[in-house]
């Protein structure tokens, strides 16, 4: 269980995941060494991880929620196999261990079709597949746990860290790429978004295998509670009604950006120096590419031909030395836990400004073990809502501190949410008294999460987050 001072540091990281220890310490009124030591302790205990996450909507990808009914005794093996895939996140066991739910975010239509239309239905242990496409997300991404930690810091402290007073996740369409379509798919009922496929009497195909036709995947995770695959329409509504910037075309990632995203997926607080070592770029090149991925180029004023990494931080609260190499190991004295590149010395563009949160391809998220915050009862909610009330109910869910994710989806159960409560009594009161009583809610299925196997990118071992690959960073921006 996190202590009160740990939760205050966690809230600071929510607001600015790459905030320097010095800046956080000044705002919180404690020493820099205290912030560094507490963060290291939380990270080593597996309670907290800061990761770089790709927004699939910025790449023109639609997003999918998948529910698998499995044969008794096979559910764990299927979940573990799915968790090994880079295009699958938020893998959980539900329905007393007879069902696996996950988020699918394939980079290509072929990958999606291969997984949903061929591999899963042909797996001998899979009895049925239900796949629903997300139509509108109301909260998720960096917005999860935002309301749950409201009030931990004062409004003045949050403003000093860069908060605008609103959740960093704004309600918006799933894709932001102008025009997009689902395209042909081998999932027979994809047009209505809810698929039921009986298991064929065929030998199981390894779910972790990558089809020969698949586009290579990076190790980058996609947004917290994100479920993505191929493009979905994302036009017609005005910027005012969507609450976000319009994007004229889907972004294509370069090979260098893929390497940078993969490194940030392992340690979102890695310094520019460590990111340069991981990608083969210079710190200045890393800074410019990071600014571009975050959507910060216009706000920071970075121009090609200049080296933002060789100047003082262009972001708010900058205190770092001009030379990124000279900054290494100079800020936090002799304590080994307080040294390293884990966000203590970011160069220009390394921090995530409020403006960048609206339209960038990349964002930084804070993965947290719910039990560390005192949440021991988790559940997926499948709501059947009157079509005219979906937006109203979705926004109501987004305002509740227990709701980590909420989205409108296709199919008869047209709204999905993930909730975290302190105990089963609180879950009962939430679902019957507050959510079940919302106008327009015609039906509600509560599916308790018995085990979380994978979050955004981190695997979950009991109540501990683990790195996705051996030798990953340990939170200092250095190899473990």
For the chain, the farthest-separated pair of C-alpha atoms sits apart, in whole angstroms, at: 64
Q: What is the pLDDT of residue 130?
A: 92
Q: Which of 207, 245, 206, 250 is nearest to 228 (CA)?
A: 250
- Of 168, 194, 341, 368, residue with least CA distance to 263: 341
Q: Is the fold of 4-49+153-170 the same as that of 255-294?
A: yes
d(CA 68, CA 66): 7
Torsion angle of C-alpha atoms 143, 148, 152, 158, degrees rounded to 10:
20
CATH number of 255-294: 1.10.10
Residues 111/62, Cβ–Cβ less than 8 Å: no
Dist CA 210 CA 217 (whole Å): 9
Angle (CA) 3 366 459, round 5°: 100
CATH code 1.10.10.10 for 4-49+153-170:
yes
pLDDT tens series, the chain, 480 aa:
899 999 999 999 999 999 999 999 999 999 999 999 999 999 999 999 999 988 887 887 778 999 999 998 899 999 999 998 888 889 999 977 789 999 998 777 788 888 888 888 888 899 999 999 999 999 887 777 788 888 999 999 999 999 887 777 778 777 765 444 454 333 333 333 333 333 333 233 445 443 333 333 333 333 333 333 333 333 333 333 344 444 445 678 889 999 999 999 989 999 999 999 999 999 999 999 999 999 875 443 333 333 333 333 333 333 333 333 333 333 333 333 333 444 444 433 455 544 444 568 898 989 999 899 999 999 999 999 999 999 999 999 999 999 999 999 999 999 999 999 999 999 999 999 999 999 999 999 999 999 999 988 888 988 889 875 544 444 444 333
pTM (predicted TM-score) = 0.72
Which residues lie closer than 8 Å to 280 by C-beta, 6 or more apart?
259
d(CA 407, CA 136): 6
Q: Which two tokens stand for residue 275?
A: 């990111």
CA-based radius of gyration for the chain? 21
DSSP 266-289: H-TT--HHHHHHHHT--HHHHHHH
**CA 194 → CA 88, 133, 471, distances in Å?**
18, 8, 40
CA 235 to chain centre: 24
* Range list of H helices, 404-444: 424-428
Spatial distance between the Cα atoms of 130 and 65, rounded to a whole number of angstroms: 8
Structure confidence at residue 417 (pLDDT)? 96
Apex 63 CA angle, 61 and 259, nearest 5: 55
Q: Which of 470, 366, 353, 327 has its CA nearest to residue 142?
A: 366
How many helices (H) and strands (E) in the chain? 16, 13
Exposed/middle/buried for residue 378 (C-beta within 10 Å: 0-12, 13-18, 19+): buried
337: how many CB neighbours lie within 10 A of its CB? 16
- Hey, is 420 helix, strand or coil? strand
Instruction: State how far the Cα of 382 lies from the Cα of 363, in Å rounded to an integer.
Output: 28
The three-state secondary structure class of 256 is: helix
Q: Which two tokens stand for residue 90?
A: 């938020």
Predicted pLDDT of residue 35: 97
DSSP per-residue letters across 167-189: -SS--EES--SSS------SSTT
Nearest to 413 by CA among 399, 433, 393: 393
User: C-alpha distances in angstroms, 230 versus 133, 184, 352, 405, 466?
Assistant: 10, 10, 27, 21, 29
d(CA 72, CA 261): 38
pLDDT for res 182: 57
Say which residues have a Cβ less than 8 Å from residue 232's Cβ, sequence separation at least 6: 62, 63, 133, 134, 135, 174, 175, 180, 181, 182
Q: What does the pLDDT read at residue 268?
A: 93
Task: Write down the domain spans for the chain.
Answer: 4-49+153-170, 255-294
List beta partners, residue 186: none
Distance CA 357, CA 362 (A): 9
pLDDT at residue number 250: 63
Residue 139 β-bridge partners: 406
- What local confidence, expressed as pLDDT, does residue 418 receive? 95
The two structure tokens encoding residue 357 = 């949160």
3-state helix vs strand vs coil in the chain, percent to 5: 35, 20, 50
Nearest C-alpha neighbor of 409 from the set 198, 101, 106: 101
């Amino acid at each position: 269980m996190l202590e009160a001072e740990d939760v205050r540091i966690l809230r600071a990281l929510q607001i600015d995941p790459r905030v320097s220890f010095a800046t956080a310490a000044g705002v919180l009124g404690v020493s820099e060494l205290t912030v560094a030591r507490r963060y290291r302790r939380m990270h080593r205990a597996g309670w907290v991880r800061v990761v770089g996450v790709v927004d699939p909507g910025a790449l023109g990808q639609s997003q999918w929620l998948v529910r698998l009914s499995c044969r008794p005794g096979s559910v764990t093996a299927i979940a573990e196999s799915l968790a090994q895939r880079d295009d699958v996140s938020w893998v959980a066991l539900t329905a007393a261990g007879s069902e696996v739910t996950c988020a699918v975010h394939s980079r290509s239509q072929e990958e999606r079709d291969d997984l949903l239309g061929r591999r899963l239905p042909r797996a001998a242990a899979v009895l049925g597949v239900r796949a629903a496409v997300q139509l509108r997300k109301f909260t998720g991404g960096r917005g999860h746990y935002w309301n749950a930690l409201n009030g931990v810091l004062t409004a003045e402290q949050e403003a000093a860290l860069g908060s605008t007073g609103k959740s960093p996740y704004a309600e918006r369409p799933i894709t932001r790429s102008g025009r997009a379509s689902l395209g042909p798919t081998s999932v027979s009922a994809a047009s209505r978004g809810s698929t039921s496929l009986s298991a064929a009497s065929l030998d199981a195909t390894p779910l972790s295998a990558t089809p020969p036709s698949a586009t290579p995947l990076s190790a980058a995770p996609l947004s917290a509670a994100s479920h993505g695959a191929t493009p979905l329409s994302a036009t017609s509504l005005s910027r005012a009604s969507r609450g976000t910037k319009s994007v004229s075309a889907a972004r294509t990632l370069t090979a260098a950006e893929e390497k940078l995203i993969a490194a940030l997926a392992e340690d979102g607080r890695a310094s520019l120096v460590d990111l340069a070592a991981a990608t083969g770029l210079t710190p200045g090149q890393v800074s410019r590419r990071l600014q571009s991925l975050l959507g910060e180029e216009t706000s920071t004023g970075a121009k090609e031909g200049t080296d933002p990494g060789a100047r003082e931080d262009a972001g708010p609260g900058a205190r770092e030395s001009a030379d990124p190499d000279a900054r290494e190991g100079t800020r936090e004295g002799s304590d080994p836990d307080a040294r390293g590149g884990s966000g203590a010395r970011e160069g220009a563009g390394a921090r995530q400004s409020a403006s960048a949160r609206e339209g960038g391809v990349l964002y930084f998220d804070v993965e947290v073990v719910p039990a560390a915050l005192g949440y021991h009862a988790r559940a997926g909610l499948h709501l059947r809502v009157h079509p005219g009330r979906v937006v109203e109910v979705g926004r109501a869910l987004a305002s509740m501190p227990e709701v980590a994710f909420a989205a409108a989806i296709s199919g008869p159960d047209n709204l999905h949410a993930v909730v975290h409560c302190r105990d089963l009594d609180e879950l009962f009161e939430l679902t019957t008294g507050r959510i079940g009583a919302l106008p327009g809610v015609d039906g509600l299925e509560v599916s308790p999460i018995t085990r979380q196997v994978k979050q955004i990118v981190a695997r979950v071992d009991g109540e501990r987050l683990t790195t996705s690959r051996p030798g990953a960073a340990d939170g200092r921006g250095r190899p473990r």
